[in-house]
């Protein structure tokens, strides 16, 4: 169990702004945020690279806020893997146990199960420099798990992998998390990873943890426009005329995806819908992506490709929308 | 293991560019090599051998090699912590420290000799301290080693600093999260990863020390009680007393020895043996 309270650290370009976060046992927590939002810096603080100016980090009831990294019992897989190039894969894997005084032979015996689980046997005698990106990632993950940490930190573990490899890795990571049950903080800018892996998700922006919850809860009730857009809800509109159509209070901001919009077919007698002025239509494989002006707000609409567009104006209905809190 | 892969041909550049780049480079190489070749071929190999075997020259070469090697080992070992601090820590006055490390390159080396005397000579501040350990500075091997350290330390420190910078700090952080202390990180990761650069820094320092004469002329023009001199001063003495022929013999011998040692070190530097594992099995 990890408890982070009011964590504050100012570095020249960024402030980790009083972050409070509680992780349950076995929880897989995904921290989502754009580049430069402070995700990696937060992991660095938790791992022990920096001492925060204020706040505390408790791991299983122990205050580790100002402990040295080697005393924290945290496994860390950075984005660039940080494999030790001067050692073979096997020496990378056994490193954590050897520095604790375990002999190389005993360390290898202890890690046999992990090596089997992650299918690393064929890589053991290789140097990190000859491994592929996926293999490096597996070695870095195994190395972090080797010392049985109380918390696992994963920094963008899938960046740079192609989709096939990413899918396989997500599956493997799920399996390993189920097997070892180590609470994990996984930082990424990719919401698909959050959907696939996260028991809960946190959104970080400019060093501030904006919202925490289950992914479905966040997407149904995003706290602000940034979160809505970051979670893939492309249309965020604050417009009096639209709110009148939707019977909402005047200053309400609503968010909806391009798929949430239905195009209404005008069969000549006029339809009662929300007018949109078309700006651009792009033909996709099975659909149309329409960019249009909804009372001077640019929105995107995804529609069935069979639908033919006549003229510059269409009428729409928004079948599902979220009110931004 | 040798790779069968050929180095791919680079895209050819413009002819005028290539002519200028190659001609300038060749002229520079000639500028380096012609005087050395002229010196080496000035007399017969038999004469060079006789010069090498002359007891005075032999002793001069021995003193020079010994002092340069000892000073290199010291600057590498004691320079490493300074290189680490400069590479890893941010602190007030860091730029000043950096400038101090580079200062010895700028100072005329006769000045270095005088400055060292003003600290370590018998009547100067650190003189009594040396005396307490039964050491004296002037006209001693200690003075030669210290002068060599002063003029050559910069090369080892700066080379190691750049090499340590090239090892990402996050590698150290990860190693420490795995339970390694800072000492273990340095011993098992940093030093093995930068071993080639340590050797390069050592070679540069050693070469610089070998070539130093001016500072030694001030602090130890000869060593008491043997009255032997470093090879560089011996060359000067022979030039002054017997002219070109006397000086050329020892000069050629010095060049050959330096060349052999440099080549051996360069070969070692690029061998796989410097790709050490972190911990012995």
Among partner residues A48, A86, A144, which is closest to B176 by beta-carbon distance? Answer: A48
Partners of A205 in the β-ladder: A208
Half-sphere exposure of residue B63: CA atoms within 13 angstroms, side-chain side: 29
Mutate to test the interface with A, among B164, B169, B170, B178 (most CBs of A within 10 A): B178
Residue A278 φ/ψ region, left for φ over 0, alpha for ψ in the -120 to 50 degree band, beta for the rest: beta
**Torsion angle in degrees (nearest 10) through CA of A121, A47, B165, B91:** -170
CB A186 within 8 A of CB A30: yes
Which residues are CB-contacts of A277 (< 8 A; sequence separation ≥ 6)? A292, A293, A312, A313
Of A85, A86, A147, the CB nearest to B178: A147
CA distance B183 to chain A (A): 11
CATH homologous superfamily for the domain B49-274: MetI-like (1.10.3720.10)
Per-residue pLDDT reduced to its tens digit, B255-264 = 988 888 888 8
Rounded Cα distance between B208 and B210, Å, is 5
Strand A62-63 vs strand A74-77: parallel, antiparallel, or unpaired?
unpaired
Q: State pLDDT tens for residues A19-33.
A: 999 999 999 999 999
Q: Which residues of B touch A98 (CB under 8 A)?
A: 279
Token pair of A235, please?
A: 């249309």
CB contact under 8 A, B171 and A47: no
Of B168, B179, B184, the CB nearest to A82: B168
Residue A190: which of A216, A164, A159, A214 has the closest Cα?
Answer: A159
- Joined together, the tokens standing for residue B51 give 């010069």
Which residue on chain B is closest to A106 by alpha carbon?
A: B281
Q: E-strand spans in A1-67?
A: 2-11, 14-23, 28-32, 54-59, 62-63
Specify the pLDDT at position A17: 94
Residues 6+ apart with CB under 8 A from A198: A28, A29, A30, A186, A215
Q: What pLDDT score was predicted for residue B4? A: 55
Question: Which two three-digit tokens encode residue B45?
Answer: 């190999």
- A contacts of B281 (beta carbons < 8 Å): 104
Looking at domain A2-230, which CATH architecture does it have?
A: 3-Layer(aba) Sandwich (3.40)
> Which residue has better confidence, B38 or A312?
B38
Mean pLDDT of B220-242: 89
ipTM: 0.86
For residues A285 and B5, give the distance between their C-alpha atoms in angstroms, rounded to a whole number.
43
Helix (H, G, I), strand (E, B) or coil at B53: helix
Q: Domain coordinates of chain B in residue numbers?
A: 49-274
Tokens 């051998």 map to which residue? B49
In contact, B180 and B145? CB cutoff 8 Å: no
- Spatial neighbors of B268 by CB under 8 A, at least 6 apart, are B199, B274
Whole-number pLDDT of residue B224: 85
The terminus-to-terminus CA distance of chain B in angstroms comes to: 22
* B179 to chain A: closest CA residue: A70
Using DSSP, state whether A271 is helix, strand or coil: coil
Verify whether the Cβ–Cβ distance B277 to A87 is below 8 Å: yes
Domain ranges of chain A: 2-230, 236-323
**Closest listed residue to residue A292, CA positions, set A250, A238, A235, A253:** A235
For B229, the token pair is 């001199």
Q: In chain A, how many H helices and how many E strands? A: 9, 18
What is the residue whose two structure tokens read 């090599």?
Answer: B33
CB atoms within 10 A of CB A35: 8
| Antiparallel, parallel or unpaired: β A208-213 and A200-205 | antiparallel
Mean pLDDT by 10 residues, chain A (325 residues): 94 93 94 94 95 95 95 95 95 96 94 90 95 92 95 91 84 90 94 93 96 93 90 90 88 91 73 85 86 90 72 84 85
Residues 173-232 of B with CB under 8 A from A: 173-181, 184, 188-189, 192-193
Q: What superfamily in CATH does domain A236-323 come from?
A: Nucleic acid-binding proteins (2.40.50.140)
Chain A: give the shortest CA distance to residue B279, in Å: 8
DSSP H stretches of helix in B167-278: 169-177, 182-185, 191-193, 195-210, 214-219, 231-242, 244-269
**Which residue is associated with the tokens 């003003």?**
B118
Cα–Cα distance for residue pair B198/B192, rounded to 1 Å: 10
Contacts of A290 (CB under 8 A, 6+ apart): A263, A276, A278, A280, A281, A282, A300, A301, A302, A303, A309, A314
* Model pLDDT, residue B280: 35
How distant, in Å, are the alpha carbons of A21, A81, A141, B210 from that of A117?
A: 31, 19, 12, 57
Pairing of strands A54-59, A2-11: antiparallel
If you measure CA to CA, which chain B residue comes closest to A88? B277
Check residue A266 and give its pLDDT: 66
3-state secondary structure of A38: coil
A-B contacts at Cβ under 8 angstroms: 83
As a whole number of angstroms, the distance between CA A96 and CA B189 comes to 13
Q: How far apart are CA A280 and CA A289, in angstroms?
A: 8
| Closest residue in B to A104 (Cα–Cα) | B281
The shortest C-alpha distance from B172 to chain A (Å) reads: 9
CA B74, CA B80: separation in Å to the nearest integer?
A: 10
Taking an 8 Å cut-off on Cβ atoms, the answer to whether A75 and B189 are in contact is: no
Comparing CB atoms, the residue among B170, B176, B277 nearest residue A70 is: B176
Residues of A with CB under 8 A from a CB of B: 44, 47-49, 68-70, 72, 74-76, 78, 80, 82, 84-88, 91, 95-96, 98-100, 104, 143-144, 146-147, 149
Tokens of A133: 């990106």
Q: Where are the alpha helices (DSSP H) in B41-126?
A: 45-53, 55-88, 94-106, 109-120
pLDDT for B1 equals 44
């Amino acid at each position: 169990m990890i408890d982070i309270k009011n964590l504050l650290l100012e570095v020249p370009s960024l402030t980790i702004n009083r972050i409070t976060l509680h992780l349950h046992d076995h929880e897989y927590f995904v921290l989502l945020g754009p580049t430069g939002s402070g995700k990696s810096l937060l992991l660095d603080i938790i791992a022990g690279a920096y001492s925060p100016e204020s706040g505390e980090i408790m791991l299983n009831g122990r205050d580790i806020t100002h402990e040295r990294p080697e005393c924290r019992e945290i496994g860390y897989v950075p984005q660039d893997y940080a494999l030790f190039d001067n050692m073979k894969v096997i020496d990378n894997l056994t490193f954590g146990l050897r520095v604790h005084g375990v002999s190389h032979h005993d360390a290898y015996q202890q890690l046999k199960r992990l090596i089997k689980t992650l299918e690393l046997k064929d890589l053991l005698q290789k140097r990190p420099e000859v491994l592929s990106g996926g293999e490096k990632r597996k070695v870095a993950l195994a190395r972090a798990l080797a010392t049985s940490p109380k918390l696992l930190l994963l920094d963008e573990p899938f960046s740079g992998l192609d989709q096939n490899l990413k899918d396989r890795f997500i599956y493997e990571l799920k399996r390993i998390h189920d097997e070892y049950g180590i609470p994990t903080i996984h930082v990424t800018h990719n919401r698909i990873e959050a959907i696939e892996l996260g028991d809960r998700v946190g959104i970080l922006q400019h060093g501030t943890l904006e919202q925490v919850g289950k992914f479905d809860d966040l997407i149904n009730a995003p706290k602000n426009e940034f979160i809505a857009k970051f979670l893939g809800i492309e249309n965020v509109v604050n417009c009096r005329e639209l709110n009148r159509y939707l019977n909402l209070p005047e200053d309400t901001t609503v968010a909806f995806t391009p798929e949430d919009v239905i195009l209404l077919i005008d069969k000549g007698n006029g339809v009662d819908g929300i007018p949109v002025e078309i700006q651009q239509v792009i033909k996709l494989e099975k659909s149309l992506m329409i960019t249009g002006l909804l009372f001077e707000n640019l929105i995107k609409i995804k529609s069935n490709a069979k639908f033919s567009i006549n003229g510059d104006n269409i009428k729409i209905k928004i079948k599902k929308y979220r009110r931004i809190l | 293991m040798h790779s069968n892969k050929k180095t791919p041909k680079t895209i050819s550049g413009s002819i005028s560019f290539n002519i200028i780049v190659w001609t300038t480079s060749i002229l520079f190489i000639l500028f380096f090599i012609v005087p050395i070749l002229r010196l080496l071929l000035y007399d017969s190999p038999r004469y060079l051998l006789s010069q090498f075997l002359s007891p005075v020259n032999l002793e001069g070469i021995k003193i020079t090699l010994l002092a340069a090697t000892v000073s290199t080992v010291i600057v590498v070992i004691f320079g490493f912590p300074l290189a680490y601090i400069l590479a890893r820590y941010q602190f007030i006055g860091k730029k000043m420290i950096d400038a101090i490390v580079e200062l010895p390159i700028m100072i005329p080396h006769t000045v270095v000799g005088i400055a060292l005397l003003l600290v370590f000579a018998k009547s100067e501040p650190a003189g009594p301290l040396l005396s307490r350990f039964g050491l004296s500075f002037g006209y001693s091997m200690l003075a030669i080693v210290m002068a060599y350290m002063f003029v050559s330390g910069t090369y080892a420190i700066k080379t190691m600093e750049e090499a340590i910078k090239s090892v990402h700090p996050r590698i150290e952080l990860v190693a420490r999260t795995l339970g390694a202390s800072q000492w273990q990180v340095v011993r098992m990761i940093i030093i093995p990863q930068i071993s080639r650069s340590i050797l390069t820094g050592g070679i540069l320092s050693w070469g610089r020390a070998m070539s130093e004469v001016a500072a030694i002329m001030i602090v130890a023009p000869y060593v008491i009680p043997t009255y032997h001199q470093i090879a560089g001063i011996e060359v000067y003495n022979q030039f002054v007393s017997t002219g070109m022929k006397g000086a050329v013999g020892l000069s050629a011998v010095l060049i050959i020895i330096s060349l052999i040692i440099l080549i051996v070190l360069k070969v070692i530097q690029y061998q796989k043996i410097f790709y050490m594992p972190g911990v012995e099995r």
